[in-house]
Chain A
Amino acid sequence: MAYLTNLYDSSRCTACRGCQVACKNWNQLPAVIEPFRGNYQTHEDTNADTFTIVKMIETEDPVDGVIWNFLKYQCMHCFDPACLKVCPRDAYTKTSWGATVHDPDKCIGCQYCTYACPFEIPKYRKREDITTKCTLCADRVEEGLQPACAATCAPGALMFGNRNELLQYAEDRVKHLRANGFPRATIYGKMELGGLNKLYVLTDTPDKFGLPVDPKVPGQIPFWKDWVQPYIGWLIPLALAGSATSFVTTRILANKHGKHDEGGHE
């Protein structure tokens, strides 16, 4: 079956965040009211009750002046999802049309997926001892509807449909943008990690949108999943610890690079 996917065109997004509200509405997620910290974005990252956010990133350079980039951020529904690989209870499944879906009934809250994901997407919900994430609205799509975010998007920045067709749109759009003032415009999600079931048209390089330029699944994961886990299930706690160490180290490194500076404008 051809993959169905969401395409996000950053050149059309106005950061109204209607997608964020539509997502909460469809998935009946409670509001997470946090104090304002100096950026319109409000939520620094997705959380267990916020499956999608719109990142709002300010940059400035002598040529282009001030640029305010917007990026809708959520699960990328990777072709080859690391979360699915590391899950000891097979709570994650891939639908025939490309969504990576998580079954909360199977989840034991080990949070292994939260460490494995190159986009740091699955989040732990303490009150139920499970992890949560975007479902690509599989429950809607399988009833012939669009995902809630795409259905509500007023300026048409979010489109839902056949991945190959959307890829064609993306190629044309990038060509147009490159010829019209955005020489670094690019597609994201076509090749990254062997392909994401989530496509982006970006007006600039991915790093200007807070996306990893070359996302990588931590090296030990394929090894654990394909070799160790099938035979020695009792090694899970050990693996968990290993990954946790790796997670903490990465965070420290990231901090050194100023990723979590005060203000969050960068």
Chain B
Amino acid sequence: MSPAFGRGAMTNHMIDLKNTNVALIMGSNIAENHPIGMKWLTEGRLDPKRQTKIIHVDPRFTRTSAVSDLYCPMRSGTDIAFLGGMINYILENDLYHKEYVLNYTNISYIIKDEYGFEDGLFSGYDESKRTYDFGSWGYQYDADGKIMTDETLQHPRCVYQLLKKHFSRYDVDTVCRITGSPKNKYLQVLDIFCSTGEPNKTGTICYAMGITQHTVGSQNVKAFTIVQLLLGNMGRPGGGINALRGENNVQGATDMALLFHIIPGYISSPTNTEDNKDLISFIRKITPGAAKLPFNNLNEFREIVKQGIPYSGWKVHSSKWVVSLLKAWYGEAANASNDFAYHYLPKRDASKNYSHIALFEAMYRGEIEGLFVNGTNPVVGGPNANKEQEALTKLKWMVNIDLWRTETADFWTYPGWDRAVDNPNVNTYAPTNIGTEVFFLPAAAVYEKEGTAAQTGRWVQFRWKGADPVGESKADLWIYDELGKRLKQLYAGSNRPEDEPILNMTWEYEGHAGEEEPDILKVAHELCGFHIADGTPVEGFAQLKDDGSTACGNWIYCGGTTLKDGKFIYKPQLREKDDPSGLGLFPNWGWAWPVNRRVIYNRCSVQPDGVTPWPGDEDRRLVWWDAEAGGWTGWDVPDFIKSVGPDNPAFKDPFIMRPEGKACIFAADGSLIDGPLPEHYEPWESPVPPVLNKQSLNPVAKVWEPDKKGTSDKYPIIATTYRVCEHWQSGSLTRNLPWLAELMPDMLIELSEELAKEKGIKNGREVIISTTRGDIKAIACVTKRFKPFVLGDDIVHQIGLLWQFGFKGYAKGDIANRLTPHIGDANTMCPEYKAWLCDIRRA
């Protein structure tokens, strides 16, 4: 979403789902995995003003399908074909929201003449390196350096015309041949969802891992962005693209940069390359439009910023975020004379990838000595679990922090190496042959500690402690505070320059006298930012400075703290139930980043004049320009620069995080490395040849293990993995709770009655599922809810497996991920759990 809108977060929030006219749920099983989201959709359904229609598109008929108004099946891994057909349908039938698209997106921008697309490849492809040169994927600029546009949309090189041409191949019949969707159902989906292109209607898209866990995961999301921009559904109540996070604090984890390529606040992390060698080079690198500007130090840079950098967006302030971050981390050791200790920041190797699959491949090769596993269970949840489990044997040590001894903590035990079936491809180990030293630290459960979670809709909510931790278990904060303090102790007295980052790291979170726990509000204070001079909170990121006078651990959380009558207030602790707009914004309940905006890009909820609501949609206006007061105001916090009024050229640029100020239907300059527009490619393992183009796999996806690719002659059945309502993630929590274990007690495989008959499999009996990576056993759930897909003359079967089982707990079962491949999305490396090939037989 970031290449299209400027941020990668869920655009609206859970309660906002009640404001929608049509919800398209695709690649998500919201009723089972986000029951509270479903609650709000149900509210919309009961509201006579909205009468929400729910559409579910999924390879499986789930509990979400059961409560939807319309269910349309679709073969796993064909989302872009499905959505490409929708884009084509919108353009062919002129269903797009014209006023919106023209003003708020780059649809009228002129693209370079060199850009092209042929046989499934965009211009600039290098087959030997499997990469693109993005040089031709850019805009045309006029003599003044302005992007050229054509508001009539007739120019053959404008985005509209290129888009139309690109998706003209996605006609309904071709799409249905690829996706296997029944044509009548597909047409109904198109008809109902595309009706939200009318200005008085909004439609929302909810997605989850069914979209992202593919070799084309990012492009799947890109296809959503195009649909929602054409229909004018972004930045409006009941609209948006709602990435339902797979875990309740995933949003918080990514905000805090638990990803290898960023530092807190979604800033690219520094690399070991020349263009990152010092602070000023780094700032040049991360500030849009700064690459070629003449400046050598921060003073010169500040002057340039003051005059304005064209096409830089809000990220022009990146220097303030980075310097404030360095001040927060290194305190007095970071000052103007030493580049604010930029040299303390670890620099990652630019030639390496540090994502999940890559880490475990490196571990497998013996390149990694030690591992911290905290609240994750890769032996159950990681792809190609046999290999990942074997990788753990190559470690010298592993620290496991969890509530229970999970499958990962106990990977070295005999049950860990028990296989359902002997498979010569899989190595097995006895505990005596494993040298990894495992340390287990018992952790406190969520109700036994205090802290915040940033939920899927970016609302940061504080949770107070409900009970004391059991036995010796400790809160994560205590564990990491202790680790920080002891590391500093161990390094104390060292004169070596490489030890300075640890010695000079600020670490002052001591709890109140007599309390063992660190003071969590001190962490919040540093995170949300303070003025160095007097220690008072910085009230919003617009006040952050790059001269060392402010410190802020994460700029997007800036404004989460304040002083009221001299008392420190941490806004995620707020619990006021007022909702003056009636749109479910609840502005004083918790706090949402950025600066308590509940719906991002909300400038789009009014017409370009900044005042008038969209025709027939008066009650869904979120913000507006107040001419008398000379500023933006509204129900929500405007996602706009408050003072930018009608006389400013940026008045109609609602996407302030994009350099263009507009949302990008065409993702220019390689912001997605596998193409400026989405194109359907088959999953790595696919039972059918490509129809639309000559490529089968996404041409940029990295193939880790070419010899492990299963082919359809041996493995003709498509498989996908998923969760059910009764278990959570890898099941380490829920399979240890008897009341949940009894609701879903065994590992199961879902399959159609047709496939069961063909294979002689009976309901409730054991089945063996095999791939090139391993074999597992599961109990058959033969159901009418699964149906074979008819693709032209071919009939292909699909099965489903729960990935939540393992060899520990009350409810045990084989690990589905022993079967899944080591391959991921070209951009994010998110593993392709959702579409791969297998074979099954009666046990």
Contact = CB atoms under 8 A, between A and B. Distances in A.
B31 A16 contact: yes
A233 interface: no
B205 interface: no
Contact of A154 (B39, B71, B724, B764): B39
A67 B764 CA distance: 21
Given A24-B739, A30-B738, A31-B741, A36 B764 contact: yes
Interface stretch (A38-46, A103-111, A118-126): A38-46
B211 to A, nearest CB: 21
A14 interface: yes
Interface in A60-85: 60, 65-70
A36 B35 contact: no
B694 interface: no
Interface residues of A, number: 41
Interface stretch (B355-363, B743-751, B791-799): B743-751
Contacts of A156: 39, 42-43
Given A42-B743, A263-B763, A17 B725 contact: yes
Contacts of B71: 65
A155 B779 contact: no
Interface of B is mostly: mixed
A136 to B, nearest CB: 20
Contact of B785 (A20, A58, A70): A58
Contacts of B31: 14-16, 155
B651 interface: no
A128 interface: no
Nearest to B748: A36
A144 interface: no
Contact of A31 (B724, B742, B779): B742
Given A16-B31, A17-B726, A17-B743, A33 B780 contact: no
B781 interface: yes
Contact of A18 (B35, B61, B65): B35
B67 A14 contact: yes
Given A15-B66, A36-B764, A38-B781, A154 B742 contact: no
A13 B63 CA distance: 9
B445 to A, nearest CB: 16
Contacts of B810: 31, 33
A25 B784 contact: no
A38 B763 contact: yes
B69 interface: yes
Interface residues of B, number: 41
A263 B738 contact: no
A33 B738 contact: yes
A38 B739 contact: no
Nearest to A69: B66
B42 A16 contact: no
With most chain B CB atoms within 10 A of its CB, the pick from A68, A181, A263 is: A68
A36 B743 contact: no
Contacts of B746: 35-36
B811 interface: yes
B152 to A, nearest CB: 43
A225 interface: no
Contact of B61 (A66, A154, A263): A66
Contacts of A69: 66
Contact of A36 (B738, B762, B779): B779
A63 to B, nearest CB: 13
A20 B744 CA distance: 13
A262 interface: yes
Interface string A1-42: 000000000011111111011001100001111111111101
A265 interface: yes
Contacts of B744: 36, 40, 42
Contacts of B35: 14, 16, 18, 154-155
A15 B764 CA distance: 21
Contacts of A70: 63, 66
Interface string A156-182: 100000000000000000000000010
A187 to B, nearest CB: 17
17 contacts: A14-B66, A15-B66, A21-B740, A25-B739, A33-B745, A33-B810, A35-B745, A35-B779, A38-B779, A38-B780, A42-B742, A60-B784, A65-B71, A69-B66, A155-B35, A262-B764, A265-B763
Interface of B: 31-32, 35-36, 38-39, 42-43, 61, 63-67, 69, 71, 724-726, 738-746, 748, 762-764, 779-785, 810-811
